[in-house]
Amino acid sequence: MPLFEKILIANRGEIACRVIKTCKRLGIRTVAVYSDADAGTLAVEMADEAVHIGGAASADSYLRADRIIEACRKTGAQAVHPGFGFLSEKSSFAEALAAAGIVFIGPPVGAIQAMGDKIESKLLAKKAGVSTVPGHLEAIPDVETAVQIAKGIGYPVMIKASAGGGGKGMRIARSDDEAREGFRSATNEAKSSFGDDRVFIEKYVEEPRHIEIQVLGDQQGNVVYLGERECSIQRRHQKVLEEAPSPFLDAETRARMGQQAIQLSKAVGYYSAGTVEFIVDKHRNFYFLEMNTRLQVEHPVTELVTGLDLVEQMIRVAAGEPLGFRQGDLKLNGWAVEARVYAEDPARGFLPSVGRLVRYVEPATGSTVRIDTGVTEGSEISIYYDPMIAKLIGYGPDRMAAIRALSDALDAYYIRGINHNTAFLSSMLAHPRFQEGRLSTNFIAEEYPEGYKPADPRPDVKRRLVYAAAAIQRRIAERETEISGQSGLRARQLADWVVHLGREPHAVSLKPHSSGFLADSSLGPAVIESDWFPGRPLFRAQVDGTPIVVQVDRKGPRLILSHGGATVDALVLTPGAAQLFEHMPVKAPPDLSRFLLSPMPGLLVSVAVKPGQAVKAGEELAVVEAMKMENLLRAAADGTVKAVVAKPGDSLAVDQVILEFE
C-alpha cells in the first residue's frame, strides 16, 4: 500500500516538479496548485491533477492557506508537501492543515514556532548547549537605538530581520552611518517580505564560512545528521554555489557540529528534514545561525553524497514510519557541487531578468549531472516569483571531478530569451581560489570587487574558441556552396581563414581529416572532430581528444560563441576579406552617462533628488524595488540634475530613463 494515496504540493516551479518525481516513484498521486501566472507550467503538466488557487501575486495564491486547504478537500489529498518558501515555515499553515485533518509533510508546529523567530531560536539554541554568536537578541525599536547597540557590540555587525530568510532584511554595518542606513533598509525589506519589521543585531564574523548540517528525524524521537553542506559562495546573502561535503571541515569538527545540530533538534522535538545553519570562522570555531524547518533549496548535493531521497524520507516520516537507519549506517560517498541558474544579469549587478525562454536546451543528465527545474522551452520568467531557472548539480568521486562535471554541463546549457548567470557560474568554478577551496561568504565581493564583468577567455579557452569558430564557419561555407550550386568552389577557398576575436586576428588553416579537420595556427596544431552542421545551437567536438561544447549564435556575419565562462564575438573571414577588414573604422558606442537608467524592470519606490539639485558621486538618487528587494541607485559622478523623468510608483522597464543630468 502507498504511504499516502494523494499528496498536494503547495508550491510551484522546480521544487513542485521535484516532489512530484518522488511521489510518482512511490506510487502516490499528486495535485499541483497554480496561480494565474503559472497555468500550463511544467509542474501543472506533471501532476495528476491541478487546481487554480488565485492571482499571480503570491499573496493572492501561494500564500493563501485557505485556498490550498480547499484544494485538498476538492481533490481528496491526504497530505501537503510545502516545498520551500511560501507557507513552508508558517506554523499557522501547519495548524490549519491539522484542523482540517490533513497531514503536513514537515516538522511539528512547536518546532516551526521555536525556530521561526530568529531571536527566540538563538536563545533556545544557547540553552540547548549550541554555540551562538555574540549579539543583542531583542527587537530594536528605532534607528538611534540600533546605532548604540551596534557600537556596544563593536563593528562590524549584522542587522537581521527576526522573521527573515532568503537573504532579505539583512545588512552589514561597519560604521554609525551604515548602521542607520542598514536599519532602515532591513526593516523596510522585512516588512515588505514577511509582514514583520522586527530586527536584531549580532557580531559579524570576519572571514566567515556558511556551513550547514542536514538533520533528519522521525516521530519516534530518532534524529541523525547527514553531513554538511558548504554554502559560502553567496551574493546579497543568497547562496549561489553549494557543495557537499565542505572542503574545510575535518572529521572532528563535522562530528561536533552534527552533534550540536541533533541536540537542538531534540530540544524542540524535531522530526522530518531540517537544516541547522552555522557560521564558521577561519579557526573552525562555529556559531549557530538559524534552523530552517523545511527542505532546503540545496538538498540535492546531500542526496547525491548520501544516496538518500530526502523528499521520500519526509513523506515516510509524515506517515509515521521510523527512520530505516542510524547514524553509524550513514556514509558520505563522492562529492557534489550545485549551481543555482538564475534569470539575472551578472554584468548589471545581478539584477533580475524577466521574459520568455525562447530557446532552452538542457545538458545531458546521468551519473555525473543532475538538473532540477520547473521550466521548459517557452516558459516565462515572471516578475512575481524568484528568478531561478534551475539547479544544476555535478557529481564525481572527488571535488575536482564534481567541478569538471558541473563546468561541462554549464557549457552545454543553452538558454536564450532572457539574461542568465551561467557564464558567471563558470567563471567562479574556474577561479583558482574556488578550486583550492579557500572560500568565505565574502568570496564574490573580494574576487569581483567592481562587480562581474565578462573577462577575456583564458589561453586554453581562447584556443578552443578560435578553432571552433574556424570549423563552424567552414561548415557554414560548405553548406552555402551546396545550396548555391557552386560545386566548383576551389578547396583552397575553404581551407584558409582568419578568425577575429574582437580586433585580434588568428590565421587558421583547415584540412579535412576523419570526421573533422586538421587545424593549424599560431596557437599550435590541433585535431578537431565534430559532426556539427548549421542550425545546431551547440558545437560538440573533440579537440585533441578532449570533449568540448561551444554554444553558437549568429549575429549577421558574426558568430557569438560561448565556452568556459567566456563569450566572444568572432568574425571569420577569408584572407582577402580580412585584409580589407583591417581598414574598417571602429564605431563608438552612444554616450549614456547623462542619464540614470533603471538597471532592471521594477517599481520606482522613491526619488531622492529634484531638478537643479547638485549631487556628489555616491549620493542616493532613487530606489527601485524588484522581486521584493530594494535596490539603491547612486550617482556615479558629481553632477546636476536636469530633469526627473519618472515618478515614484511608476513601473519601469530595463534601461528606462529615471533622471537626466546637465
Residues identified as active-site: 290
- Contact assessment for residue 439 and residue 233, using Cβ atoms and an 8 Å cutoff: yes
User: Hey, what amino acid is at 624?
Assistant: V
- Contact assessment for residue 440 and residue 207, using Cβ atoms and an 8 Å cutoff: yes
- Contact assessment for residue 261 and residue 225, using Cβ atoms and an 8 Å cutoff: yes
C-alpha cell at 202: 549580532
Q: Give the separation between CA 519 and CA 257, rounded to whole angstroms.
A: 55
Rounded to the nearest 5°, which phi and psi values hold at 654?
Answer: -60, 135
Closest CA to 621 of 597, 602, 603: 597
Q: Which residues contact 276 (CB under 8 A, 6 or more apart)?
A: 212, 213, 215, 260, 261, 264, 265, 288, 291
Q: Give the separation between CA 270 and CA 124, rounded to whole angstroms.
A: 13
- Contact assessment for residue 132 and residue 120, using Cβ atoms and an 8 Å cutoff: no
DSSP annotation of 59 reads G
Q: Give the separation between CA 411 and CA 415, rounded to whole angstroms.
A: 11
- Contact assessment for residue 159 and residue 170, using Cβ atoms and an 8 Å cutoff: yes
**Distance of alpha carbon 294 from its chain centroid, rounded?**
18
Preceding peptide of 245 cis, ω within 30°: yes
Assign residue 329 a region: left if phi > 0, alpha if psi is -120 to 50, beta otherwise? alpha
- Contact assessment for residue 254 and residue 227, using Cβ atoms and an 8 Å cutoff: yes
**3-state class of 399 per DSSP?**
helix
Q: Give the separation between CA 641 and CA 661, rounded to whole angstroms.
A: 4
Unique residue bearing C-alpha cell 538618487: 621
Alpha-carbon torsion angle 467, 469, 472, 474, nearest 10: -80
- Contact assessment for residue 350 and residue 427, using Cβ atoms and an 8 Å cutoff: no
